[in-house]
């Protein structure tokens, strides 16, 4: 039962809330109207009203999103002086139990947590949800709320032809557009990571306000409307395309071509490709959009950007077309579930010379404040072509601009790319979910091949009309609109999670990975 105050159509993506009426913003990207929830200046009374009757929130799982949700919610509850407790549900054999206890949470079994909580946040792994999700859901109290941070489980049920879940509970989604560590770190510095939200089943009548309150408590500065069906399609697709597989493959393909010109000089290639893409290119897109980046280029560099964009777009678009069809059909989900059941090992994606021979360079760049700050126009043209190819596909498939921009641009430049900049491609990819990690490895070589082909044929695409289409693309107006609704720091500057907490986290992660 979808709330009647929610309107999702081809030309409208809006919602209403009496409790949060003053926090709703109407935005008008090209060809549509959308509502954005702005969580700044939320009063304790608003949270108390939205969460009326909620006494216990159970977070099931302690992997990527679990620690962030649990700790952010607990901190938000304390700030608002709410009488709500947060507990953690884990398997008895879970290796994460000690970490949750050290974070000073009460830890119980998943079964006990599901039985007792008023809100159950289903944050166990995707494979865990496939194996045990319905059993936990069946234990929930009638009238309680089931929350997903990702629609994978519902997507799996859909492709498997399983019936709908029980109808006597609320089913909502609050889905951060970034990995769990970013959600926590951004909250701690007074910023946040944007989220989407969905109301799939409104048994109690207040599921929408519950979702908005939850999003505010995990620290999302801005929250936009979607459905979990749209979310899992765009999210699983985006991981395999721009967010992970696309940027990974573009880097590898460009590095391969540039290294030929550099005489196999990995360090020079790293600066020219990786540092340029993850540093000034990412930062400029975050700050000024695509047009802002082009405007920074000299006339000669603009020509190189145009040539690269023209050469790369069609190849990337072919890859993203294949990915979306594979995801939406359910084949990608079925593949992930099958590989998880087989416990298929993950290949090492950082043992090539580009990564293994530049560790000291990365550390010196970080220690000196990343002094290499040159925009490589070819890298910029290809990377933005990859982004626009994904944007075009999502729009073709009916996704609203808020989802498209957050999934294709903001999540990349504000949340994920800094992990490559700080620690290498595996630091980004392998800090994500197992579903995302499998997706990157399944598809990045397709982008690598498309990039290499485009680079070898730059001059033959000089007369392509793709760049002309880009200059008139509606994405520029959309980016200008959504630039007002991106995470910022206390001074109002766009937040890039390449902050000083990342190097310390990197040390811990490397030690764990190498042990």
How many C-beta neighbours within 10 Å does residue 28 have? 11
- In the annotation, is 473 catalytic? no
Q: CA–CA separation, 303 vs 108, rounded Å?
A: 60
Sole residue written with tokens 């947590």: 113
Q: Are 10 and 454 in contact (CB under 8 A)?
A: no
How many C-beta neighbours within 10 Å does residue 505 have? 16
Report residue 120: phi and psi, to 5°: -110, 110
- Which is catalytic among the residues 150, 248, 399, 455? 150
Residue 332 corresponds to which tokens in the numbers above?
């990608």
Residue 472 corresponds to which tokens in the numbers above?
């008139």
Q: Are 349 and 426 in contact (CB under 8 A)?
A: yes
| DSSP assignments along 25-75, one per residue | EEE--TT--EEEEE-TT--HHHHHHHTTT--EEEEE--SSHHHHHHHHHHH
Per-residue CA distances from 348 to 336, 352, 400, 493 (Å): 18, 9, 36, 36
Q: 206-209 contacts: CB < 8 A, separation 24 or more?
A: 206/50, 206/52, 207/3, 207/145, 207/170, 207/171, 207/172, 208/3, 208/5, 208/6, 208/15, 208/17, 208/172, 209/17, 209/19, 209/20, 209/49, 209/50
Q: CA–CA separation, 428 vs 425, rounded Å?
A: 5
What is the DSSP pairing of strand 145-148 with strand 170-176? Answer: parallel
**Residue 103 buriedness (CB in 10 A; 0-12 / 13-18 / 19+):** middle
Q: CA–CA separation, 348 vs 414, rounded Å?
A: 25
What is the DSSP pairing of strand 195-201 with strand 222-225? Answer: parallel
Nearest Cα neighbor of 144 from 56, 85, 14, 235 is 56
DSSP state of 344: P
**What is the longest distance spanned by two Cα atoms in the chain?**
67
Residue 273 corresponds to which tokens in the numbers above?
């490709």
Residue 339 corresponds to which tokens in the numbers above?
């590989």
Q: Evaluate the CA torsion angle 358, 364, 370, 371 in order and state its sign.
A: negative
Q: Helices 501-514 and 180-188: crossing angle, nearest 10°? A: 150
Radius of gyration of the chain (CA): 22
DSSP state of 84: -
**Catalytic residue set:** 150
């Amino acid at each position: 039962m979808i709330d009647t105050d929610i309107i999702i159509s081809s030309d409208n993506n809006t919602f209403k809330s009496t409790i949060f009426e003053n926090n709703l913003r109407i935005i008008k990207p090209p060809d549509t109207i959308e509502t954005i929830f702005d969580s700044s200046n939320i009063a304790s009374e608003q949270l108390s009203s939205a969460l009326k009757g909620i006494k216990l929130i159970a977070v099931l799982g302690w992997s990527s999103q679990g620690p962030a949700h649990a700790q952010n919610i607990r901190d938000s509850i304390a700030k608002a002086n709410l009488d709500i407790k947060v507990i953690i549900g884990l398997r008895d054999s879970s290796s994460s139990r000690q970490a949750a206890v050290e974070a000073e949470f009460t830890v119980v079994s998943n079964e006990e947590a599901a039985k007792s909580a008023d809100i159950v946040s289903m944050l166990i792994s995707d494979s865990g949800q496939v194996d045990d999700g319905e059993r936990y859901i069946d234990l929930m109290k009638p009238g309680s709320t089931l929350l997903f941070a990702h629609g994978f489980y519902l997507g799996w049920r859909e492709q498997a032809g399983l019936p709908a879940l029980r109808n006597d509970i609320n089913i909502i989604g609050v889905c951060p557009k970034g990995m769990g560590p970013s959600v926590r770190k951004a909250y701690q510095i007074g910023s946040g990571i944007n989220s989407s939200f969905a109301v799939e089943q409104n048994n109690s009548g207040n599921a929408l306000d519950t979702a908005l309150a939850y999003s505010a408590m995990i620290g999302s500065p801005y929250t936009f409307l979607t459905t979990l069906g749209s979310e899992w399609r765009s999210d699983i697709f985006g991981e395999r395309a721009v967010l992970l597989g696309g940027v990974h493959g573009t880097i590898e393909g460009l590095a391969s071509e540039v290294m030929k010109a550099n005489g196999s000089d990995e360090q020079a290639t790293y600066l020219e490709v990786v540092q340029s893409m993850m540093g000034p290119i990412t930062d400029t897109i975050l700050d000024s959009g695509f047009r802002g980046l082009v405007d920074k280029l000299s006339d000669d560099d603009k020509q190189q950007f145009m040539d690269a964009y023209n050469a790369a777009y069609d190849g990337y678009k072919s890859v993203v077309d294949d990915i979306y069809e594979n995801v939406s059909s359910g084949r990608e989900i079925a593949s992930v579930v099958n590989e998880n059941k087989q416990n298929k090992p993950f290949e090492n994606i950082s043992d090539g010379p580009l990564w293994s021979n530049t560790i000291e360079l990365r550390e010196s760049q970080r220690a000196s404040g990343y002094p290499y700050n040159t925009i490589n126009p070819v890298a910029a043209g290809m990377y933005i072509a990859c982004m626009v190819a994904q944007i075009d596909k999502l729009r073709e498939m009916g996704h609203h601009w808020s989802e498209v921009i957050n999934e294709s641009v903001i999540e990349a430049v504000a949340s994920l790319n800094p992990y490559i900049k700080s620690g290498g491609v595996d630091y980004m990819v392998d800090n994500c979910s197992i579903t995302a990690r499998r997706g990157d490895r399944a598809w990045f070589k397709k982008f690598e091949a498309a990039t290499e082909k485009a680079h070898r044929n730059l001059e033959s695409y000089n007369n392509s009309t793709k760049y002309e289409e880009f200059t008139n693309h509606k994405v520029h107006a959309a980016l200008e609109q959504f630039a007002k609704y991106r995470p910022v720091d206390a001074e109002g500057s766009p937040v890039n999670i390449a902050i000083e907490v990342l190097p310390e986290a990197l040390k811990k992660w490397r030690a764990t990975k190498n042990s």
